[in-house]
Amino acid sequence: MTAHTTLTRPAKPVHTPINIVRGFLVGLAELVPGVSGGTIALVLGVYERALLSVTALGRAVKVLVRGPSRAEGFRTNMREVEWWLVVPALAGMAAAVLFAAGPVSALVEAHPENARGLFFGLVAVSLVVPIRMLPAGGGGASRIVIGALAVVVSAVVSFVLVGFASNSDIEHPQWWFVLLAAAVAVCALVVPGVSGSFFLLAVGLYHPTLEAVDGRDLGYIGVFALGAVIGLLTVVRGITYLLSTHRFGTLLVMLGLMLGSLRALWPWQGGPGGADGHGTLLAPTDPAGPILWAVFGAVLVGALIIAESVAGRRAR
C-alpha cells in the first residue's frame, strides 16, 4: 500500500468474536441483490486488510508451485496473512450464507419496499467511506475534473448495468456455468458497489443458488465455492495493485459504482423484477415505511463508521 494507507494493527485472538460478526454482516450483504459485500467490508474497516491477506495467500500458493525457494517463500507469505481476521471472517460469512439464505430471501420478497429502503440508507451513507480513504495531495483543477469524470462514468455504467438483470432462472445449470458465474460474482467482495447477488440474478442463478444452499446441495455448493476461490485469487491481486499505484482514481471509481448501484435499491419499483430490485423505477407511494427504514440504515452505518474511526485511532 502507499503512504496514504493507514492500516490498524494485526488482529489477535481477542478480536475473534468481532471478526466473526464482521464476516457475518458481509455474508448477509451478499445474499441481497443490489448490496455489495465489498461496501460492507469498507464500512467495517476490514476491506484493505482482507485484500492484503488474500494477496499474500495467493503469492504463497504461487511460490509453492513455481518457486524459487518454495518452502521459505511459502512460509514468508503465509506469515503476512492476518489469520485471526481471515478465518473468523470466513466462518461468519459461511454462517450467514448457510443459515440466513432462506430467511433473508423470504424477508426481501415479503417486504420489498421496506427492505430496499433499509439497504438504500445503508449504501447511501456508505458513500462517505471511499471519500474518507482518498489520499491528500495536490493535482490542481485537472485532478478534480478527472476525478469527477471517473465518478460520473462509473456511476452511469453501474446504473445501466443494473437495469439489465433478468427475471428468469436457469432450472438445471451446467457445472461449468456455475463455476464461471461464481468466479465473476465473487468480485463483489473486492469491488464495492458491485453486487454478487445481483450478478447471479442477471444470469439466472440467484434463486437456484439460494435453493442449493438452503437445501444443502453439496455438489452445487462445491462447484460454486471452487469458482469463488478461483475468482477471488485472480481479482484480488489486481485490485490490490490498483489501490497501491492508482489509489485516487480507484477509490473514485468505487465511489461511482456504489452510487450507480443505488438504482437497484430504490424502494418503489414496478414490473416483474420489482421484488428483486430491477423493475421500473416509480415515484414514491406510501413513503413513510421505506423512509423510516432508510433513516435507520443510514444511522446504523453512520454509527459503524464513527466506531471504526475511533477504534482505528486508538489502535495507531
Which ranges of the chain have pLDDT less than 70?
A: 1-9, 34, 137-139, 164-169, 188-189, 193-194, 202, 271-279, 311-316
At 156 the pLDDT is 92
Q: What is the pLDDT of residue 6?
A: 43
Residue 117 domain-assigned (yes or no): yes
234 in a domain, yes or no?
yes
Is 8 a member of any domain?
Answer: no
Answer whether residue 197 is part of any domain: yes
Is the pTM value of this prediction over 0.75? Answer: no
pLDDT of residue 216: 82
Flag whether 2 is in a domain: no
- Distance from chain centroid for Cα 141: 32
Residue 164 DSSP code = T
6, part of any domain: no
Is 50 contained in some domain? yes
The reported pLDDT for the residue numbered 226 is 92
Asked if the structure places residue 203 within a domain, the reply is yes
Q: What is the pLDDT of residue 142?
A: 81
DSSP state of 68: S
- The single-letter code of the amino acid at 27 is G
Range(s) of the domain holding residue 212: 13-315
**Residue 90 and residue 23 in contact, taking contact as beta carbons nearer than 8 Å:** yes
C-alpha cell belonging to residue 171 = 432450472
CA–CA distance, 42 with 29 (Å, rounded to integer): 12
Q: What total of structural domains would you count in the chain?
A: 1
